[in-house]
Structure 1
Amino acid sequence: MNATESTAPQADARERLLEAAEALIYAGGIHATGVDAIVRAAGAARKSFYTYFESKDALVAAALERRDERWMRWFIEGTLARARTPQTRLLAMFDVLREWFASDGFHGCAFLNAAGEIASPDDPIRRVARYHKERLLEFVREQSDAWAAETGADSRVAARFARQWLILIDGAIGVALVSGEADAALDARTAGRHLLDALAPQDSHRSAPARRAHPRKEQDHE
């Protein structure tokens, strides 16, 4: 048996533990999910857990890092596939979110959920949650900077705007979770359109009166 063959089952056990931890914690929360439940769901031996992770918190942090990579890839690719211009990309983010809100497995933002259960801002779990939001803000900032360059808006406005857009995103997620209404994404989209109109330079406003006159028709996934 070569080295690849001998390590493959171990790597597979680690991946199963991460997958089980992510699924169980996202559905039921960190404190309500015990190590034994994760080990059983993973179909792994309990000693495998201690082989790879020094604690439950370490496992949770690693599972969230894994989710961050997958979620950000899904969100970015979904947004870019729906639109070609900076403004329509910003608005398309809420179309991507609405699909997620309408899915059977939606339980809100895993990172906000996790941060809400962990008191210390220096805890590894909180650090992963903070990193995820920083990555999301970075993507939004890229689009807002492109929007500012296209419309002639002040770059300082774009920086503040990106933080406001992140609040719209997280607000939509929270409302959708509590209300069970996927259309929270559409409400946030409408608020976002008003924000774009308010911050765009006046010359930009005058150049596109038809777009403002028919907001319900802009499903322009260009």
Structure 2
Amino acid sequence: MATDTLTEAAVPGTARERLLDAAEALIYAGGIHATGVDAIVKQSGTARKSFYTHFESKDALVAAALERRDERWMNWFIAGTQRRGKSARKRLLGMFEVLREWFASDDFHGCAFLNAAGEIASAEDPIRVVARKHKERLLDFVRIQCDEFAAESDMDARRAARLSRQWLLLLDGAIAVALVSGEAGAALDARSAAQTLLDAEAKPSASEPAASAGTVTGASPGKSTSACANRRPPSRRAAT
């Protein structure tokens, strides 16, 4: 995957680095509970004593590995998004093209943070905390792009904030579908939905006539809003 470059400050090749590498690879491929300390130590090529020298527990190792992955993954995703275009619209839609490249890679196993959060019950567990912070960072980046799109489209801040939350759902949804289906094209389906969302949020055309005050669009002339609002809707009991 394009995110394999290490960004940890420690010198690559140390026992701690090898333990982190092994933990991330094994847990991402097989899950937290299915991966034991012995397997991590064996793949890292370190002594079991080294594990306890650097980490107080397996969970501490997993949390540290996820923190490092968060930094690397975000750097990769941000850089890929920025290359997709100069306008916020192009960058927002380009996010799904970046994801598609990831989905098509041989070592794609879904979102490591969603996977980890699904295995940990407590919301306060350090592993869940790292997963939550990752999604917060991703949402923050998406919000920056949505704010810029809002400036391009004369959209207010409240709508931009809503759009950023909806965008995160589309990103995570694409990742989940790609994992389950094995189809990288899930990114393109999400992109299509995202484009529809952007079109709906864009500023209406200046030539579009506004609805007259006191009337409901599509209502017959002379009927007031209050009259339409007070009309009792037909019963839907037969449809349930």
TM-score with structure 1 setting the length: 0.87
Instruction: Name the counterpart of 1:21.
Output: 23
> Given residue 183 of structure 1, which amino acid in structure 2 is its aligned partner?
G
Instruction: Name the counterpart of 1:39.
Output: 41
Q: Among all aligned residue pairs of Structure 1 and Structure 2, give the percentage whose two residues are the same amino acid.
A: 73
Find the aligned partners of 2:66 and 2:185 in 1 and give their Cα distance: 27
Residues 204 and 161 of structure 1, relative CA distance in 2, 3 Å threshold: farther
Instruction: Name the counterpart of 2:147.
Output: 145
Are 2:65 and 1:63 aligned? Answer: yes
Find 2:197's aligned residue among 179, 195, 202: 195
Find the aligned partners of 2:14 and 2:85 in 1 and give their Cα distance: 38
Instruction: Give structure 1 regions of 4+ aligned residues with deviation exceeding 2 angstroms.
Output: 8-11, 203-206
Instruction: Name the counterpart of 2:101.
Output: 99
> Given residue 106 of structure 1, which amino acid in structure 2 is its aligned partner?
F
- State the Cα distance separating 1:179 from its structure 2 match: 0.3
Q: Is the Cα–Cα contact under 8 Å of residues 151 and 204 in structure 1 kept in the other structure?
A: no
Q: Any unmatched runs of 5+ in structure 1?
A: 1-7, 207-222
Matches within 5 A, 1:111-190: 111-190=113-192
Find the aligned partners of 2:115 and 2:147 in 1 and give their Cα distance: 29
Q: Is the Cα–Cα contact under 8 Å of residues 197 and 205 in structure 1 kept in the other structure?
A: no
- State the Cα distance separating 1:204 from its structure 2 match: 8.1
Q: Is the Cα–Cα contact under 8 Å of residues 118 and 125 in structure 1 kept in the other structure?
A: yes
Find the aligned partners of 1:94 and 1:10 in 2 and give their Cα distance: 32
- State the Cα distance separating 1:83 from its structure 2 match: 1.2
Q: Any unmatched runs of 5+ in structure 2?
A: 1-9, 209-240
Q: Is the Cα–Cα contact under 8 Å of residues 114 and 126 in structure 1 kept in the other structure?
A: yes
Instruction: Name the counterpart of 1:83.
Output: 85
Residues 127 and 171 of structure 1, relative CA distance in 2, 3 Å threshold: same
> Given residue 109 of structure 2, which amino acid in structure 1 is its aligned partner?
H
Instruction: Name the counterpart of 2:232.
Output: none
> Given residue 122 of structure 1, which amino acid in structure 2 is its aligned partner?
E
> Given residue 147 of structure 1, which amino acid in structure 2 is its aligned partner?
F
- State the Cα distance separating 1:11 from its structure 2 match: 7.2
Greater relative contact order (Cα < 8 A, sep 6+)? 1
- State the Cα distance separating 1:154 from its structure 2 match: 1.2
- State the Cα distance separating 1:82 from its structure 2 match: 1.7
Q: As a proportion of its length, which structure holds more helix? A: 1
Find the aligned partners of 1:157 and 1:11 in 2 and give their Cα distance: 47
CA deviations on 1:10-46 (whole Å, 9 max, x unpaired) are: 9710000001000000000000000000000000000
Give SS of 2:14's match.
helix
> Given residue 126 of structure 1, which amino acid in structure 2 is its aligned partner?
R
CA RMSD of aligned residues (A): 1.7
Instruction: Name the counterpart of 2:54.
Output: 52
> Given residue 135 of structure 1, which amino acid in structure 2 is its aligned partner?
R
Residues 14 and 100 of structure 1, relative CA distance in 2, 3 Å threshold: same
Residues 181 and 26 of structure 1, relative CA distance in 2, 3 Å threshold: same
Give SS of 1:203's match.
coil
Residues 102 and 9 of structure 1, relative CA distance in 2, 3 Å threshold: closer
- State the Cα distance separating 1:203 from its structure 2 match: 3.0
Give SS of 2:195's match.
helix
Higher gyration radius (CA) = 2
Q: How many residues align?
A: 199
